[in-house]
Amino acid sequence: MSTPTARRLALDILRRTLDNKQDLQAAVDDALSPVPAGPDKGLATELAYGYLRMRGRINFLLSQLLKNPHQTSPILKRILGVAMYELLFLTRIPDYATLDWAVSLVRERLDATMGRVANGVLRSLLRLGLAPRFPDYYQTKTIGHDQYLAAWYSCPQWLVRLWLDGYGKERTDAFLQASITTPPLGVRVNRAHTRAEEVRDSLRPLAQNSSEWGFALPQWPDFLAQAVAEGSATRQSLAAQKIMDAIGMAYWPSPVLDACAGRGGKTYLLSEAGKSVWASDINVFRLRQLKAEGARLGFDVPAFRAQGQGPWSLRQTPHTVFLDVPCSGLGVLSRRPDIKWKRTAGDCAGLVNLQEQILEATAALLSSGGCLAYVTCTLNPEENERQIERFTLRHPEFTSLRQAQSDPAEALGEFFYGAVLRKN
């Protein structure tokens, strides 16, 4: 039997993102763009995201089921991993169909002997029955609590330890559970658009959580395609929107310099809320996308390339500097599960330095009374509260007004940190 297209596509996405280190969404877009619309695209995306979310648990099971896990070829493990994801998590695909494509593909890519190994591993998994679907199985087969959490919640052990040390057991459990759960879809209504109230009123009854103009939806309603096209709505996680409210975005004085504006997600959140914004970023390609977003949403935001750590030469002084800084992304693993398999503790230290340099250079742009707002999408105290703590120690002329962190009880699946300071 030939391998169904969706599995080949999923393996191609995984090769791009895990082996070539491409960003997951870009890997999905590149792998799927030549494929005609249809169910293969949906299944390939589900397999790639699902496998990446559960890769740690799957690898733990593989270590139990393979005779020599460390000497097994990576391609065999990858094919088995995707097949195991199907067997454990996708109830609509019959087991025999999964075994069939996986064993055929291993034979094609390796050889008949490896095909028999693959068949044996997958049948051993099926013989375990329901056991691997419950935490007890992992508790009894791991040594120590960290290893158990890493296996059950499919998370690298260094990250489990970072969270336990930084946030304690209860919040770590909540972060870990969120990291393996598909997050809701976020929408922001463009409050400056003539149809804003109509779109907001249609979304309200469908939402599982909301703010005044933001919504978290279990699925994407058909009418939103039109709303996005006409500029009355934008995809944006509700947790990202809420952190901006939590650090008092409404009170920030204009003009705001959004110095890590990227494609403009938060630039236009600010514009829609009535702020006058200038956008800058180190990445010209993202700034081009930001300008295209402006055309869709009805804003002409001045945008220019600048390195956050300076040197800066602005003709006018911003009254607020907003920094949505480059960070380790450990708060958005549910939407970007590739990050947990790529990020290292060393990268986090490098990012802490870069954030510090950006803070130093941009804080110097402010005059007395100016605001400095800082946001990350990570769960790492060194990049969050300790970064701000160190900044205020170095700069007693700044007073911390508010700090906030996404609350796991909101069940938005993503976690942001924010702080706002005023220059005295």
Cβ nearer to ligand SAM, comparing 154 with 378:
378
| DSSP result, 143-174 | SSHHHHHHHHTT--HHHHHHHHHHHHHHHHHH
Is 247 within 8 Å of 238 (Cβ atoms)?
A: no
**Contacts of residue 374, Cβ cutoff 8 Å, sequence gap at least 6:** 323, 325, 359, 387, 388, 418, 419, 420, 421
Q: Does residue number 405 form part of the binding site for ligand SAM (CB under 6 A)?
A: no
Q: Strand pairing of 185-189 and 233-235? A: antiparallel
Alpha helix positions (H), 277-370: 284-297, 339-342, 345-363
Cβ nearer to ligand SAM, comparing 55 with 336:
336
| DSSP result, 194-222 | TTHHHHHHHHGGG-SEE-SSEEEESS--T
Is 385 within 8 Å of 393 (Cβ atoms)?
A: no
Cβ nearer to ligand SAM, comparing 120 with 298:
298
Which one among 8, 171, 286, 395 touches ligand SAM, defined by CB under 6 A?
286
Q: Does residue number 272 form part of the binding site for ligand SAM (CB under 6 A)?
A: no
Smallest gap from Cβ 362 to ligand SAM, in A, equals 9
Residue 15 DSSP label: I
Which one among 40, 86, 272, 281 touches ligand SAM, defined by CB under 6 A?
281
Cβ nearer to ligand SAM, comparing 160 with 259:
259
What x/- string results for residues 241 through 270 when contact with ligand SAM is judged by CB under 6 A? -------------------xxxxxxx----
**Contacts of residue 162, Cβ cutoff 8 Å, sequence gap at least 6:** 330, 345, 380
**Contacts of residue 299, Cβ cutoff 8 Å, sequence gap at least 6:** 192, 268, 271, 272
Residue 4 DSSP label: P
What x/- string results for residues 175 through 194 when contact with ligand SAM is judged by CB under 6 A? --------------------
Q: Does residue number 275 form part of the binding site for ligand SAM (CB under 6 A)?
A: no
Smallest gap from Cβ 326 to ligand SAM, in A, equals 4
Cβ nearer to ligand SAM, comparing 40 with 383:
383
Q: Does residue number 383 form part of the binding site for ligand SAM (CB under 6 A)?
A: no
CA-to-CA separations, 244 to 153, 270, 301, 378, 417, in angstroms, rounded: 29, 9, 19, 15, 9
Q: Does residue number 102 form part of the binding site for ligand SAM (CB under 6 A)?
A: no
Cβ nearer to ligand SAM, comparing 266 with 335:
266
Smallest gap from Cβ 152 to ligand SAM, in A, equals 29
Cβ nearer to ligand SAM, comparing 123 with 235:
235
Q: Does residue number 338 form part of the binding site for ligand SAM (CB under 6 A)?
A: no
Q: Taking Cα atoms as reference points, which of 42, 49, 40 lies closest to residue 3?
A: 40
Restricting to residues 347-366, name those near ligand SAM by CB under 6 A: 354, 358
Cβ nearer to ligand SAM, comparing 6 with 290:
290
What x/- string results for residues 303 through 332 when contact with ligand SAM is judged by CB under 6 A? ----xxx--------------x-x------
Q: Which tokens in the block code for residue 350?
A: 């490098």
**Which residues contribute to the site for ligand SAM (CB under 6 A)?**
260-266, 281-283, 286, 307-309, 324, 326, 354, 358
